[in-house]
Structure 1
Amino acid sequence: MKYSGWPDPGDLVVGNVDEIEDFGVFVDLEEYEDRRGLVHVSEVASGWIKNIRDHVTPGETVVCKVLEVDESSQQIDLSIKDVNDHQRSDKIQDWKNERKADKWMSLAFGEDMSDEQYTTVANGLLGEYGSLYDGFEQAAIHGKEALDGTDLSEEEIEALVATARENVSVPYVNVTGYVQLRSPNPEGVDDVRAALEAAEGNGEVPDEVELSVTYVGAPEYRIKVKAPSYKVAEDALEASADRARDAIAERGGTAQFHRERQLEDE
């Protein structure tokens, strides 16, 4: 996706080094249609520059800070030296993510999707999440609910969600808790079994959550939750423990719960 407008002063932009002259570097902006900027030699690197070609090469991808924009003269002044390593890394990753999302748009709606439809869908995602990639990521995690705030049609939302869930790699976290279940009744085994079934969800577990309950050693059982964020995971874990506690209490038993956390990126 390329923007048709102009960047603003202070923006970070990704560009491709097109021409190198003694006075500076011409950079084609990758994120904008038909936009080109100039990095004056004094903005290429800190300190005295003996040979500008020691610092940049033709075809190199660079991240620049926009210094000034003069639309009337079609001029964009850029700086390479004002971008630190952290900013450069983050911007390149964001740019790569948007390129992925652009391909996912084609997967969702076909290579022949019209410019009008592309613009409509893109604006819906940008308006809600600020980027195409973030829109796809939220659709992968939360499904149709993530796009409720947009004006997209039901068919468009379904296509986005299906494509997102096939292509987006979502970071997940795991949280683990332990519940001890006791029943004084002769049918105590059945009481515990009912509490474990309740802990597993009874259809109340959100789609984006994976929950499992496993035996540790009498009377303790492990509840493990995998979810896209700690809040979602912790809410699901607490809800699971509450269901087990309520179920065993109805039968005259008791439940004690404690938990631990562990972050995992997949």
Structure 2
Amino acid sequence: MKYSGWPEPGELAVGRVDEIEDFGVFVDLLEYEDKRGLTHISEVASGWIKNVRDHVNEGQTVVVKVLEVDEDAQQINLSIKDVNDHQRKEKIQEWKNEQKADNWMELAFGEDLPGEQYAAIANELLAEFGSMYDGFEQAAIHGHEALEETDLDDDEVDQIVETARENVSVPYVTVSGYVDLTCPEGDGVEVIKEALQAAEGNGEVPEEVQLEVTYVGSPEYRIRVQAPDYKRAESELEDSAERARTVVAEHGGSGDFHRERQQDEE
């Protein structure tokens, strides 16, 4: 998506070197419709510059900092030297992500989506998530729930969630822990089975979380959790172990949760 307005001073933008002159470089701003700026030779690189072409090439993609914007004169002054390596990499990745999101919009709503409807959907995602990419990513992780606070209609939400689930690679993290379960009662085996079902969530684990419990060796069981971030994964892991411990405790048993697997004593 290209913005129809003007960039703001201090903003970082992605551009393509369109024309090189002795006094500076003209840059087409790729995120804005029909916007072109000038990077004066003094803003191309630090130090004395003998030849601008020693620092940039025509057609090169660059990240620039917007210095001044004069809408009346239709002029935008830019700087290349004021962008450090970290900012450059981060901005380029952000730009690539938005290109992906632009493609997902086309997959979700088709190439013939009217410009006004595209803008309305995009603006809803931008307002709620800060970027279209983050909107699709959250839809992939949390489904319809992620879009509840937007003004998108049901069909639009369905299309976004379906497309996100099929195309977005979600950055899941995995954590593991172990729980030792014992129950001295005569029906202890059934109690342990009930505890393991509780640990697995009794079918009520959120759809963005993957949780499995496997047998290691009596009395130890391994709990493995995949979730969108470490905080959520750790919380789900601890909740799983606590559910199992609660069940065995109700039947006079005990449960011990630990992160590292217990080693057999020699």
**Alignment RMSD (CA, Å):** 1.0
Q: 1:165-208 CA deviation, whole Å, 9 max, x = no partner?
A: 11111111111111110011122222111111111111220000
1:192 and 2:192 correspond: yes
1:222 and 2:222 correspond: yes
Q: What's 2:126 paired with? A: 126
1:180 and 2:180 correspond: yes
Rounded to whole Å, the distance in 2 between the matches of 1:158 and 1:250 is 43
Partner letter of residue 170 of structure 1? V
Partner letter of residue 64 of structure 2? C
Q: 1:136-191 CA deviation, whole Å, 9 max, x = no partner?
A: 11111111111111100011111111111111111111111111100111222221
Q: CA deviation at 1:48?
A: 0.7
> What secondary structure, in the 3-state scheme, does the structure 2 residue paired with 1:233 have?
helix
1:240 and 2:240 correspond: yes
> What secondary structure, in the 3-state scheme, does the structure 1 residue paired with 2:139 have?
helix
Rounded to whole Å, the distance in 1 between the matches of 2:205 and 2:244 is 14
> What secondary structure, in the 3-state scheme, does the structure 1 residue paired with 2:45 have?
coil
Partner letter of residue 233 of structure 1? A
- Taking the TM superposition and a 5 Å limit, the aligned residue runs for 1:100-111 are 100-111=100-111
Q: What's 2:263 paired with? A: none
Q: CA deviation at 1:255?
A: 1.1
1:145 and 2:145 correspond: yes
1:39 and 2:39 correspond: yes
> What secondary structure, in the 3-state scheme, does the structure 2 residue paired with 1:37 have?
strand
Partner letter of residue 61 of structure 1? T
Q: 1:33-66 CA deviation, whole Å, 9 max, x = no partner?
A: 0000000011101111111111111100000000
Q: What's 1:8 paired with? A: 8
Q: What's 2:264 paired with? A: none
- Taking the TM superposition and a 5 Å limit, the aligned residue runs for 1:39-78 are 39-78=39-78
- Taking the TM superposition and a 5 Å limit, the aligned residue runs for 1:255-266 are 255-259=255-259
Q: What's 1:25 paired with? A: 25
> What secondary structure, in the 3-state scheme, does the structure 2 residue paired with 1:78 have?
strand
Q: CA deviation at 1:257?
A: 1.1
1:83 and 2:60 correspond: no
Q: What's 2:98 paired with? A: 98
Rounded to whole Å, the distance in 2 between the matches of 1:209 and 1:259 is 19
Rounded to whole Å, the distance in 1 between the matches of 2:248 and 2:124 is 47
Rounded to whole Å, the distance in 1 between the matches of 2:18 and 2:222 is 59
Rounded to whole Å, the distance in 2 between the matches of 1:240 and 1:154 is 34
Rounded to whole Å, the distance in 1 between the matches of 2:185 and 2:148 is 48
> What secondary structure, in the 3-state scheme, does the structure 2 residue paired with 1:146 have?
helix
Partner letter of residue 254 of structure 2? T
Where structure 2 has 5 or more consecutive residues not aligned to the other structure, the ranges are 261-266
Question: TM (normalized to structure 2)?
Answer: 0.95
- Runs of 4+ residues over 2 Å off in structure 1: 249-252
